[in-house]
Chain A
């Protein structure tokens, strides 16, 4: 019986390991109200300090706001009723090379770019429904009206 338990734990930890293999790329550093993070495995309520991964979709609810700090020091923040998706993030801590692609679906987003754009202008891109914003540096904001409001 003990042996079965041991093997079960072994197999579970082995199956679970890919989840931990992907490393966090940032954290929620400022948070008020309610928000949801969608990643493989389903949506989870956002919390202060929560790690953020590539492919995460973050949605703030009404009266919420949320600020993110990424490993290259890029900072993003969302106002209420906003949705972004981290499409791609890679950053080499030594060379500061990499790419950061964010899709902005609706709401308001503020951006202060970090080491990625300091190393290479345009390495941070924000895709909105109408355009691609290539960031040379460093602070800007975007507002995208909710789809329901667009005729």
Chain B
């Protein structure tokens, strides 16, 4: 008897699903493939027009995403982990495990319009000059490519020196360093309107030192890109 009841409820749900979903006017691309688990029965495959789809996407750095879903009728559900997804069609709600292919198919257009993450990096200089170290010269080429690839990058350059020399001469040196990077960015095709320059002399050391200490890490321009 128990068994009969459970298979009955399964039948009712399946029927209502089918009648609720069948819609011949819908184009095939509007249909979503979903798996519905009902009362321990085998997976039932149904074609259903999706009113809403929510999907957790994989992230950089291996972190796992979580979204709490509170439905209008008060039910609460949690989507946790890459490609965990939910399909809401009227009062029907199904959670399922999706994949990269479906993610691209459904959301690709929006995903590819996501702006790149803002970041900050530094380039380093040879003592008492506004010439980059050989390593930073290489890094600068890569950095400029990364910046010019963005549709709308706003850049703040802050020039710094180490504690060798007078405050006044270091103030000027830090400004020359920042302006050197600014000119290189303009050469690379970035509009000067997008570049803001500030200079701090030896006021903001990365590595705290006594006065008149040469320190490579302090001879820098910090480049903040948004």
Does A73 count as interface, using CB distance less than 8 angstroms?
A: yes
Encode A113-151 as 1/0 by CB contact (under 8 A) with B: 000000001100000111111111111111111000111
Picked from A65, A67, A136, the residue with its CB within 8 Å of the CB of B67 is A136
Whether B114 and A130, one on each chain, are in contact in the complex, defined by CB atoms closer than 8 angstroms, is: no
Considering only residues 37-73 of chain B, those with a C-beta below 8 Å from chain A are 49-59, 63, 65-72
Picked from A82, A143, A151, the residue with its CB within 8 Å of the CB of B23 is A151
Interface extent on A, as a size class? 35 or more
Whether A142 and B53, one on each chain, are in contact in the complex, defined by CB atoms closer than 8 angstroms, is: yes
Given the known interface contacts A79-B110, A108-B106, A130-B72, the answer about A142 and B54 at a Cβ–Cβ threshold of 8 Å is yes
Whether B65 and A141, one on each chain, are in contact in the complex, defined by CB atoms closer than 8 angstroms, is: no
Does B33 count as interface, using CB distance less than 8 angstroms?
A: no
Q: Which residues does chain B contribute within 8 Å of A68, judged by CB atoms?
A: 115
Picked from A27, A77, A133, A136, the residue with its CB within 8 Å of the CB of B110 is A77
Given the known interface contacts A133-B69, A139-B56, A140-B54, the answer about A79 and B113 at a Cβ–Cβ threshold of 8 Å is yes
List 5 A-B pairs, minimum CB-CB distance, nearest first: A79-B109, A65-B113, A29-B115, A141-B107, A77-B113
Q: Footprint of A on B, CB under 8 Å? A: 23, 30, 49-59, 63, 65-72, 79, 88, 103, 106-107, 109-115, 117-118, 150-152, 226
Q: Footprint of B on A, CB under 8 Å? A: 27-32, 48-49, 65-69, 73, 75, 77-80, 82, 108-110, 112, 121-122, 128-145, 149-151
Besides A27-B152, A130-B52, 14 other CB < 8 A contacts? A30-B152, A67-B113, A69-B226, A77-B113, A80-B109, A110-B113, A122-B68, A133-B67, A134-B67, A136-B68, A140-B65, A141-B53, A141-B106, A143-B52
